[in-house]
Chains A and B, each alone.
Chain A
Amino acid sequence: MGKTRIKAKLKKGVVTVKAMAKHAMMSYDEAKKKGKTANFITNIIATVNGTTVYEVSTSQFLSKNPYMKFKFTGANKGDKLKLTWTDLSGATNTGTGKIK
């Protein structure tokens, strides 16, 4: 499981984030076909300076290497965005990106 890529841009007070997590996102059906255990991201949370700016609970139906885009206000250039995902197996991964 590799790094989550994050691009965060601030424009007119709104930060737009485009991120891509690296995860096989194997659904139950796919796992059955491959004889593997299903595993997919179930929660993603992003924070800036400790404040939550994005939070989603997800199912097995997000595409492989899930791409996401979201927006929020209240942050400044140079602030660090932390994006953490958790998957069905309990594994977590945190990526960071600077708001430009």
Chain B
Amino acid sequence: MMNRRNFLGLSIGVAAAAIIPANLSATDFRATKPKAWTAKNVNDAITEIFGTSNTTVSKKVKLKAPDIAENGAVIPVTISTKMKAKTMAIFQDANPESAVAVFTVPAAGIPDYSVRIKMSKTGTVTAVADVDGKLYSTSKVVKVTIGGCGG
């Protein structure tokens, strides 16, 4: 097995900021943090992914999601930050498991991601950004009306 020093030496051309060795790619979050994907509780899932659930609520993490989602199967969510985040993640507390997605921000990547998620009922969506080992978060309640007219 190639030792770490040689491996990092091969990463020519990667931007100077936080060089993330390839073996910390997002692929590994499913493989190396299996408990994160079965954790019911949002803080447990955050701890599994990031090592701690100690987050600072910050306006610098933006979370866009509808106040009321008429269709709980398709809820558009956008998370972004202008900070140099190396990982961003979405959690919610309305489903049997809380982790939704974990984005690894590559060197050329911009932490601004949109996806569509499912929520089985009204709940709180939380976005977390890892900026140099410090966690920042923001949350928003999304009301889910299944099948009925809004409200």
Contacts and interface: CB of A to CB of B under 8 A. Distances in A.
A67 B118 CA distance: 12
Chain B interface size, under 10 / 10 to 19 / 20 to 34 / 35 or more: 35 or more
A59 B97 contact: yes
Contact of B113 (A56, A60, A73): A56
A63 to B, nearest CB: 4
Nearest to A70: B113
B115 A55 contact: no
Given A64-B73, A70-B109, A72-B108, A59 B115 contact: no
Contacts of A75: 108
A27 interface: yes
Chief secondary structure at chain A's binding surface: strand
Interface in B37-96: 37, 73-75, 78, 92, 95-96
B101 to A, nearest CB: 5
A53 B75 CA distance: 24
Contacts of B118: 27, 61-63
A93 interface: no
12 contacts: A52-B25, A53-B108, A55-B109, A56-B102, A59-B99, A59-B100, A63-B118, A71-B112, A72-B106, A72-B108, A72-B110, A74-B108
Given A43-B27, A54-B106, 10 more contacts: A55-B103, A56-B26, A56-B113, A57-B28, A57-B104, A62-B118, A63-B118, A67-B116, A70-B110, A70-B113
